[in-house]
Structure 1
Amino acid sequence: MARAEGRLVGGRYQLMEPIGRGGMGVVWRAHDRLLDRAVAVKEVRYDSAMGDELSDLNRRTMREARAAGRLTHPNVVVVHDVIEEDERPWIIMQLVQSRSLGQVIREDGPLSPERTIEIGLQILDALRAAHRQGVLHRDVKPENVLLTDDGRVVLTDFGIARLEADSTMTRTGLVGTPAFIAPERLRGEAARRESDLWSLGATLYTAAEGRPPHDRGMAMATMHAVLNEDPAPAARAGRLGPVLMRMLAKEPADRPGYDELARLLKQALREAALPTTKPLPVAPAEVARPSAGRQPYASPGEPPSTGSRAGSPPRPAAPSRDAAGAGAAGAGGAA
């Protein structure tokens, strides 16, 4: 791969350095010499042993990437250009200064429920826009969710995820990353909009809990769990937990659609922002009027004062309503 550095793709895009690698190819930082801008170039590499299937996959990759190029949405990485060179597709995309959600989880740990919901709402909006144009993602997972330096959330790999999944299915019987594949797809059914929403649920579960909902460490065991087992309750997700369980329903018809899901996520976000209810402080019992020469305790652990002069009248105890007022003020502060 090092030999490709400095290469000019399509007579226009000069490869600078690899910035990402996967089972299907390499993502390069590149320079668009025509428009003098930085771009990302995905070099799609299928297994040459696929023989006659290879040219068909290349054609479908080009077609899907062009379809993705028609998507215009703030939460979708822009596809600028698609080139076929050296019998392989090269997909030129917007270069996003970011870390993937997967990288953030590995480096910083699980996210708060509030941040997880904010990410979910933006990705849901991106998926809704794509589905309206007939484009399914088919590979929603933490590594394909980018958190930008300026605070945006961007979904990447639209248009090529489908073909990568088809290729993987042809060679190994798998279709992408097992922990993020909807049950119906593992059963051999066609991908659908609800499949992307299931994968979004698995992605948000991973963000909140720090691990995928069905991961068992090995592909076959994970797929068996996706098909047959309920995920463990989301212990860290707070009010988001019940929403995640609905998103991860085994049957597509049992999952919430776009509008209901958006409403549930926004409701969970509002409830997560409410202050935690704390018990009200207990008002002290009414203090009996002290006898001459004695003072009441100022606090439960404080010794009595002996500073009164002999024969001086005792200082009157504070009225009980002041203690109640202090308790109310404390309750107001806690709330």
Structure 2
Amino acid sequence: MTQVGEGHETAADADGPVMTFGAPTVGEILAERYQLEQHVNDDSAGRQVWRGIDVVLRRPVAVVLRYPGGDSATEMLQAAVDASRVIHPNLVGVYDAIDEGARAYVVREWVDGESMRELISEEGPLDPARATSIAHSIADALAAVHATGMVHGNVHPGTTLIADDGRVVLADARADSADSTEGDMRAVGGLLYYALTAHWPQTEVGHSALPDATRDASGNPAAPRQIRAGVPAYLDDLTMDLLDRRVAAPEADALAAELARLDAADDDYDDVGPLRFTQGNATSEPPRNNSKIVIGVAALVVIAIVGLVFGIRAITSSGTPDTKQTTQADAGETPSGTDTQAPTKNPEKIKLTADMVRIVDPPPGDRTDADEAKNVVDGDPNTAWETHRFNTAKFGNLKPGMGVLINLGTPRALADVRVETSSSGVGMEIRTGTSDPGDNSSGDDKIAKTYKKLGEPDADTKADGTNRVFPLFDPNSKYQYVLVWITELPSADDGDRFQVSVNEISVYGY
């Protein structure tokens, strides 16, 4: 079975795939305590996963080995230390984290069973009740994680384990500075979608990527009810609301309570009522089901009654001037310059010039291709910024990635970023920050470490070969610094190592 680590294909360590050498052998004892018994698999970050035995406590364990150890294993070990502090029945227990220099390893609970990924691959989509039960368990686990101020960062069918005794546990916390509690919540929506359809709504790359969701002409995933008969409308709404970034994501404990309510209803979804965590988080999007329509109609009735009352008062008091009277509209007026809702007009392409873009190439990058940045905004797809060639797709242990920084000059409300590349299969993210710390190696290194990722890795909802669209921006926020960040390279055209050209980048805003 997939014990740990089999999360997003793009969720590898920040230093890229590791090099494995000097592989351990069956029977070897680590730290004079953990005896290796069977090599299970290599996870998506290139680490070796073994089944072992704690010879002191005589219990089975999972051992995750990374080569080399030292500084390159810091993130893995720190994530394990953080995870060990949270004890919950739906979280895999973390027992030990050891760095030997040449290698590092994490010792965790061994779960007899299989991953959700394996379960659905073998049996197909799950019935709604079971899908709800699994999502409920994961939301409970995340509520415990978030209560400590931490983020899991790797909620995925490959890290959701189903034990033989029916217990559902979440493994392999991976959170880095770019992950967020909202990302965890959106991923629970992804688990529900995958359970109901056997397709994953968050785009992945690589040989082990999950089957992509069925998408409409705009690149949006089709609702589960459009793919499979028998999905209750309420569960369909809940799943799509969790995936829709226009709908505020609930807190983990609120989602867990909502799923518990639905889980308790079993197959009887007719009387479960409205989505309770959405109360007070109304959006401009039309309601999807009858229960939401009832709420909307009731609200309109209340508004009409209030309007009538104020209208009558205005008429009856019109003969009595009162210069100090404040109208209801004035009382709730928004201060000048404050945005309270998303723009309603169509987005327009923002004109980008050469002085608004630069290449970000953190150490040990040589920055010799800096003058090619202008080629991505010159309107000519025949000119491009071409990366150097690398021996591995994910830059090896050299650096976490490289990309193009866009300085819009002033904060803007944005709709999406569109990128045209020379090849498909490019691992890509959109990140944002608050400043440019400097057009130098030190500044590039700081950008790579501090800029925050929007959405999931490769979270473009519209992809057409070499053309990608990333509609990830919060409509109520403004952005000045946008980073198009490459995390994985495709094979070069001649098959000699890995390389890509970025031909054009466009930014659309309001």
Class of the TM-score when normalised by the shorter of the 2 chains: 0.5 to 0.7
- 1:60 pairs with 2:75: yes
For CA contacts below 8 A with separation 6 or more, give which structure has more relative contact order.
2
- 1:262 pairs with 2:262: no
Aligned to 2:166: 151
Instruction: Give structure 1 stretches of 5+ with no counterpart.
Output: 47-53, 167-189, 277-335
Distance in 1 (alpha carbons) for counterparts of 2:101 and 2:257: 48
* CA-to-aligned-CA distance 1:22-81 (integer Å, 9 cap, x gap): 1321111111112222111111246xxxxxxx7433223222211111111000000011
Distance in 2 (alpha carbons) for counterparts of 1:197 and 1:157: 16
Q: 1:9 to 1:147 in 2, by over 3 A?
A: same
* CA-to-aligned-CA distance 1:146-169 (integer Å, 9 cap, x gap): 1111111000112xx236xx8xxx
Q: 1:23 to 1:271 in 2, by over 3 A?
A: closer
Equivalent residues of 2:128, 2:267 under 8 A apart? no
Distance in 2 (alpha carbons) for counterparts of 1:243 and 1:215: 20
Aligned to 1:300: none
Distance in 2 (alpha carbons) for counterparts of 1:266 and 1:79: 26
Structure of higher CA gyration radius: 1
- 1:75 pairs with 2:90: yes
Instruction: Give structure 2 stretches of 5+ with no counterpart.
Output: 1-21, 271-510
- Of 203, 206, 214, which aligns to 2:191? 203
Distance in 1 (alpha carbons) for counterparts of 2:145 and 2:202: 27
- 1:28 pairs with 2:63: no
Q: 1:216 to 1:57 in 2, by over 3 A?
A: closer
Q: 1:83 to 1:217 in 2, by over 3 A?
A: closer
* CA-to-aligned-CA distance 1:66-120 (integer Å, 9 cap, x gap): 1111111000000011111243221001111011000000001110111000111
Report the alpha carbon displacement of residue 267 of structure 1 after superposing the two structures with TM. Answer: 4.5
Q: Which amino acid aligns with 1:119?
A: I
Distance in 2 (alpha carbons) for counterparts of 1:270 and 1:229: 34
Q: 1:270 to 1:151 in 2, by over 3 A?
A: closer
Q: Which amino acid aligns with 2:25?
A: A
Superposed counterparts of 1:1-335, under 5 Å: 3-24=24-45, 25-45=47-67, 55-158=70-173, 161-162=174-175, 190-215=178-203, 229-235=219-225, 236=228, 237-238=231-232, 239-251=234-246, 254-269=248-263, 273-274=267-268
* CA-to-aligned-CA distance 1:180-226 (integer Å, 9 cap, x gap): xxxxxxxxxx321111111111122101111112548778xx79x8x
Report the alpha carbon displacement of residue 272 of structure 1 after superposing the two structures with TM. Answer: 5.4
Secondary structure of the equivalent of 2:224?
coil
Distance in 2 (alpha carbons) for counterparts of 1:131 and 1:64: 14
Q: Which amino acid aligns with 2:268?
A: L
Q: 1:217 to 1:2 in 2, by over 3 A?
A: closer
The structure whose residues are more often strand, as a share, is 2
Sequence identity of aligned pairs in percent? 33
Equivalent residues of 1:243, 1:264 under 8 A apart? no
The structure whose residues are more often helix, as a share, is 1
Aligned residues: 239
CA RMSD of aligned residues (A): 3.0
Distance in 1 (alpha carbons) for counterparts of 2:191 and 2:67: 26
